[in-house]
Every structure is written in C-alpha cells, then in structure tokens.
Chain A
Amino acid sequence: MVDEIAGIYACYYSSTEGYGAAIFLAFQGKLTGVDPNGVLLDGFYGKAGGCYRLKVLVDAPAGTQLVQGGEAGPKGQKYEVEVPFKESLTEQPFFEVDTPLGPLNVRFQKLRDLDDGD
C-alpha cells in the first residue's frame, strides 16, 4: 500500500509571540523530528473514518525558548497536538493547532517524497 503521507517535511509555525520551524520524517505511520532549539517531535499518523489524523508529542528540554512565549520549566515541557487532515499535510495553506500553551498556525512543506523509488 502506497504511503502518500510518507516523506521528509519542514513545518513552519507562528504563535502570537513568535515564529519557529522544524524538520521531521513521516514514514510507515510514524513521525520523528526536531527543531533548532532541540524540541523533539514524536508521534504517529493514520487514517480512520475517511480522514487522516496526525498526533505528535512535543518535548521541549528544560530552559528551551518556546514559540508560544516563555521558557520550558526546569523539568522541560511536554504536550500533545493533533492535526486532522483529509489527504495531505499540504492541502491547505496552514492548519490552526491548539496547544496547552497557546494557539499555533502550522504550515507544512514536503521536502522529499519517500515513495517515489529514488
């Protein structure tokens, strides 16, 4: 089965306080990535009920500057985000994502497709 979502992505996100970007790999239902501040992205994606759902655990190390503003505490900061989409992560200009620390607008850019046989 062709995994249309698989690929290497860049995501650009904006909060009310600033901007950020990250790189991640989506492959075989799993997602792994990191941003320049060392914030880890770990999650999975899958299709259910006719649409996809991307679920990511965001793990910011202690003292990291958060894009929503402020710093991750002495024990770091972890939270989950969900991004539902119909066919691809690039189907709309950006997704509105609600996080416990504030809203984010996230834009995905597919850098390389992993299913093209190259």
Chain B
Amino acid sequence: MTETDAQIIAAFAAVCAAVATGFAAWTAYFGPIRAARLAEDLRTVTEVRTNRERAKLNILGSLMTHRRSFWLPEPVSAFNLIDLVYNDNQEVRAAWAEMYLSVTTKSIPQHVQEEKLRRLLSAMSKDLKLADDLRTDDFGRIYHPDAMFEEQLVQAYQRKAALEAFTRKDTPPGTDSSSSEEVSDVFPPKPKRRDA
C-alpha cells in the first residue's frame, strides 16, 4: 500500500465519519421533534375518541332519563345529535331513522313508537359496550312516579292555555277565536294566500 492509498482511505474514512456525525446530529435534532409530534397525534386521536364516547354517553343518558318526556328540550337536542355523534354506527342510525319515521307519522300506534325507541336505546348501549346483555324489554322498565306525571300534566295544560291566549290575540275583537275561519259579525273572512 502506497502513501497515496493510505491518504485515500483516510479521506474516505473522514467523509464517512462526517456523514455519520451529520446523521447523528440530524437524528438528535429531529428525533425528539418527531417523537413529540407522534405523541401529540396519539394524544389527539385518543382525545377525539374519548370526546366522542362522552358525547355518545350524554345522548344515551339523556334519552334514558327522559323516556317519558320526549318533548323536553334536552331529549330533543339529544335526538337531533344522533346522526352526527353516532355517524360511525350504521345500526344506531338505522334505528334512529325508524324511530323518527314512527313519531312523525300520525297513523303509527304508540306501542310501535315505544318499541322503536327501545331498539334505538339498545343499539346505542351496545355501541358503547355498556349493555351487551340487556334486552329491549329491559329498556321499557321506567320509574315514573305519579307526582312527576301530574307535574307534567299541569305544565301541558298551562302550555295549552298560553297557546290559546296567544291565538286569541291574533283575532279581531268581538270575534270568536274558535271560529276564526268563519265570517265574523264585523270582519269578513281572511282571503286565501296567494301561491308563491
């Protein structure tokens, strides 16, 4: 081996050492950053999953609590969030679609609506892995004391009376609000609305 060969080998080794040093420096700089990003991504995914589970649980809890009073604002909000929060579960969304159809169609008997509701609650519970062993009949067991029922009845009558009072304000004086469509003693009947 000549002196030139030795110099070439030394130069090559120096270049390799420089590359290795550079790679080590790059790793030392970017390694923690990438690790932090990976941890953040994992945390975000976990947080999103946790938030979704919490939202699902809130909806299920609201519906379970108000199985006898669906007209209240809280269960109404819960129903309207099902498609959004349970968008990853087709079984829940199908059950909700069936229940929505049953409560918006006038000819559907009440016991059918209740059955649709129990199926929806069952599907939501299974999605959350809360009640794999519960049957739909178990969701029909509702504790609803008479005092609460009477309270709701009073509120319903008060709401009806308030609605009638507002309706009466819209009719002219001297006119019976129950026959607003008939010719009154003084005012003629309202004309038909023009088509848009």
Write the residues of chain A forming the contact surface with B, with a CB cutoff of 8 angstroms. 12-16, 18-19, 21, 93-94, 96, 102-107
Main secondary structure of the interface of B (DSSP, over half): loop
* Inter-subunit contact B188/A107 (CB<8 Å): yes
* Inter-subunit contact A103/B194 (CB<8 Å): yes
Write the residues of chain B forming the contact surface with A, with a CB cutoff of 8 angstroms. 170, 172, 183, 186-194
Chain A hits for B188, CB < 8 A: 12-14, 93-94, 105-107
Chain B hits for A14, CB < 8 A: 187-191
Write the nearest CB–CB distance from B183 to chain A, whole angstroms.
Answer: 6
Write the nearest CB–CB distance from B100 to chain A, whole angstroms.
Answer: 32
Task: Identify 11 new A-B residue pairs, CB closer than 8 A, beyond the known A14-B187, A106-B188.
Answer: A14-B189, A15-B190, A15-B191, A18-B170, A19-B172, A93-B183, A94-B183, A96-B191, A104-B191, A105-B188, A107-B186
Main secondary structure of the interface of A (DSSP, over half): strand
List 10 A-B pairs, minimum CB-CB distance, nearest first: A94-B188, A105-B188, A103-B191, A19-B172, A107-B188, A14-B190, A12-B187, A16-B193, A19-B187, A14-B188
Chain B hits for A103, CB < 8 A: 191-192, 194
* Inter-subunit contact A107/B187 (CB<8 Å): yes
Complex CA distance for A14 and B172, rounded to whole angstroms: 10
Chain B hits for A107, CB < 8 A: 186-188
Write the nearest CB–CB distance from B1 to chain A, whole angstroms.
Answer: 104
Complex CA distance for A15 and B187, rounded to whole angstroms: 10
* Inter-subunit contact B191/A16 (CB<8 Å): yes
Nearest CB to that of B183 among chain A residues? Answer: A93
8 A-B residue pairs with Cβ-Cβ distance under 8 Å, sorted by A, are A12-B186, A14-B189, A14-B191, A16-B192, A21-B186, A93-B183, A94-B183, A106-B188
Complex CA distance for A103 and B187, rounded to whole angstroms: 15
Complex CA distance for A8 and B187, rounded to whole angstroms: 18
Nearest CB to that of B172 among chain A residues? Answer: A19
Complex CA distance for A16 and B193, rounded to whole angstroms: 6
